[in-house]
Amino acid sequence: MNTQTLALLFGLASAVAWGAGDFSGGLATKKGNVYSVVLISQLIGGIFLVILALLFRETIPPAGDWIFGALAGIAGMIGLLGLYSGLANGRMGIVAPLTAVLSAAIPILFSLLIEGIPPTIQIAGFALALVAVWLLSGAGGSGSIRSIELGYSLLAGAGFASFFILIDQANETAVFWPLTSARIASVACLILFITVRKTWEQPSRAQMPLIILAGLLDALGNTFFTFAARFGRLDLAAILSSLYPASTVLLSQIFLHERLNRPQWLGVILALLAVILIAI
């Protein structure tokens, strides 16, 4: 199996894991505080990453990889807080898809500058995938975009995009240790945020299985993305992993009987076509 195929498979695996993790985390937050759920799931994911690093006897990376990992973790947490703030103060139908598209488009532009232009057919696949991400994320907010929605979307999109770019710089010698560094930094940021805002609430026992599952799936999604970026181009890894809303909405239909609207079904079809074009 060549590296291009491995990158494709790992990119899709990251989308499935992240989407399932969002679904699990979303269920857990229906009856609890979102920041408490995120903090505990991040801690669990961090422990899981340490176990994987020790289990595979991964080499301790140089200091530079730890630093890039920590910066990636801070960027990712800024993106997460920006997204939640945007969803709380704006319209989900605008904030969610705009954030998703920005988080995929910025690494694509970065990769074009650093790695050069990919084949034309892959560029077409990237374009279709960006449209699919927009549709799958729930595009459909009415009216023109407000400044507060644009601001939070830019913050969230830039944060997630920076995570993609920075963690790609930290995977030359190791995978799990840089991700652990990212998790330590993100947890520290979230603890500071919760302490300042005084938003902590103890989750119930009934929530814990979903929180644990969300933490494990998020850590797996990060791992698969890192492998995808390691075996292939950053733009390919970023655009494929950004298809995670497909996993979330399909799980919602299966387990919660939430019907996909027409734009989301179109997004699913475009996502499949995009994967085919990227894989050629």
Three-state secondary structure readout of 81-138: HHHHHHHHHCCHHHHHHHHHHHHHHHHHHHHHHHHCCCCHHHHHHHHHHHHHHHHHCC
Residue 228 has pLDDT above 60, yes or no: yes
Average pLDDT, the chain: 90
Note the pLDDT of residue 225.
96
Mean pLDDT value of segment 32-39 = 87
Report pLDDT digits (tens) over 242-259.
Answer: 999 889 888 888 888 888
Note the pLDDT of residue 233.
92
- Distance CA(202)–CA(211), nearest Å, equals 12
Note the pLDDT of residue 62.
94
Domain span holding position 213: 3-279
Note the pLDDT of residue 127.
94
Mean pLDDT value of segment 95-100 = 86
Note the pLDDT of residue 139.
66
Place of tokens 């927009």: 134
* Burial call 231-256: b when 16+ CB within 10 Å, e when fewer: bbbbbbbbbbbbbbbbbbbbbbeeee
Note the pLDDT of residue 34.
85
What sign for the dihedral angle of Cα 243, 249, 252, 257? negative
How many structural domains does the chain have? 1
Are the beta carbons of 160 and 99 closer than 8 angstroms? yes
Report pLDDT digits (tens) over 36-60.
Answer: 989 999 999 999 999 999 999 999 9
Note the pLDDT of residue 161.
95
Report pLDDT digits (tens) over 155-185.
Answer: 999 999 999 999 999 988 899 999 999 999 9
Report pLDDT digits (tens) over 101-145.
Answer: 999 999 999 999 999 999 999 999 999 999 999 888 876 655 667
> How far does CA 164 lie from the centroid of its chain?
9
Note the pLDDT of residue 55.
96
Question: What is the pLDDT confidence band of residue 270, given thresholds at 50, 70 and 90?
Answer: very high
Note the pLDDT of residue 261.
82
Note the pLDDT of residue 142.
57
Report pLDDT digits (tens) over 195-221.
Answer: 998 888 888 888 899 999 999 999 999
Tokens found for residue 277: 């074009």
